[in-house]
Amino acid sequence: MKRVLKWLGIVTGSLLVLAGAARLYLTRSARPGSLEHPRGYSHPKEILAAIATGGLKLIDMNPPLPANVVERTNVEYGRIGSRALNLDLYSPAGLTGAVPGLVFIHGGAWRTGKRQDYRIYTAHFAAQGYVAATASYRLFREAPFPAAVEDVKCAVRWMRAHAAELHVDPERIAVIGGSAGGHLSMMVGYSSGLFDAAGGNTTVDSHVAAVVDIYGPADLTTPFGQKASVVKDFLGGRGFDEAPDLWRSASPQFHLKAGAPPTLILQGTLDEIVPVGQSDTLAARLGELGVPYEYERLEGWPHTMDACVPVNEYFKARIGEFLANRFGR
C-alpha cells in the first residue's frame, strides 16, 4: 500500500511539473499581433499536454462580429445544375471606395470542413478594411476533382463580376486557404485559363493578385501524396500509376510558371499531414521562376496549428502584413 501511495505521489508530482512547464513554455510565444514566430514545441505530444493543462489556448471558432463589420450569409455565388454554391461575405460598415477582396477557402482533406470555419479570419480582415468571403465548394463525395477547383474559381469570378456593388477593386483580389484550402488557393492562383467553365460568370477572368498557402499540398505526385488514400479519393479513385497526368493536373506545382501571383507560405515543421518538404520544394520552385514569395517556416508546430491562439494571432498579423505590402495599406 505504501508503495502504491508513493507511486501515486510521484505521478501526481510529475503531472504538476508538466503542467507548470507547459504554462511556462507558452510564455515564450509571441504577443498577439506580433510578427515574431510563436515559439514551437519539440513534439506534438507536448502541444497536446499544453492544451490539456490550459497552457495553450484554442481559438473561438465563432467569435463575436466586430461592430464595424457587416455580415451576409448564404450568398449564392454559382450554380451547378440545381446545386447552389454559397459563400458568406464580410464587409467594412459604411464602405464607399474600392478595397481589396479576399476569398478564403476552408480545409478538410477535400472531404469535410465548412466555410464557417474561416469566420475567425473573414470577420477580422473585414474589420481591417477588406471585403472578405468564405466559400463552400463541392467535396469529393459529391464530385471529384476538378469540381472543387472549378467552384473556388467561380467564387473569384463572382467577386470580380460584382466588384462595383461590393466596393472591391477587381485587380486586388487574393485567395487564402489552409490544408486542402491551401491546395485549392494555389490551384486558383497558378492554373490560369483552366477549370473555368462551370458555375457562372464564365466570361469573367478568375486571375488573382496574391495567394496565401497555409500548409497546403503543392505536389500530389510525391510519395506522400501517392500513399494518402484521401488524395486518390479526391481524384475519383484513380491511382497515380493509372492516371499520372491527372495527378499532375491536380498538383499546383505543375502549373507554376513565371508571372504567377506573389505567394505567402505558412508551414509548420511538425506537420504530420502535409510534410514540410512540400512547402520547402514549393518555395524553391517559386524562387527559380522569379515569382515573389515569402516563406514562414514555423519550427515546432503541426498541421492546423492556427487553431492555437498564439499561432492564429501571428497568422492574422503576418497575412495582414503580406497583403498590405502587395495591395497597400
- pLDDT value at position 111? 98
CA dihedral 322, 326, 328, 329 (to 10 degrees): -10
Query: CATH classification of 61-327, choosing from 3.30.70.240, 3.20.20.70, 3.20.80.10, 3.40.50.1820?
Result: 3.40.50.1820
Domain segments of the chain as ranges: 61-327
State the alpha helices, DSSP H only, in 27-108: 44-52
- The separation between CA 253 and the C-alpha centre of its own chain, rounded to angstroms, equals 17
Q: Cα 57 from chain centroid?
A: 20
Eight-class DSSP state of 43: S
Q: Are 235 and 149 spatial neighbours (Cβ–Cβ below 8 Å)?
A: no
Nearest to 158 by CA among 180, 137, 182: 137
pLDDT of residue 329: 75
Question: How far apart, in whole angstroms, are the C-alpha atoms of residue 92 and residue 243?
Answer: 46
Q: Which residues of the chain have pLDDT under 70?
A: 1-34
Q: Which three cell numbers mark 281?
A: 520544394
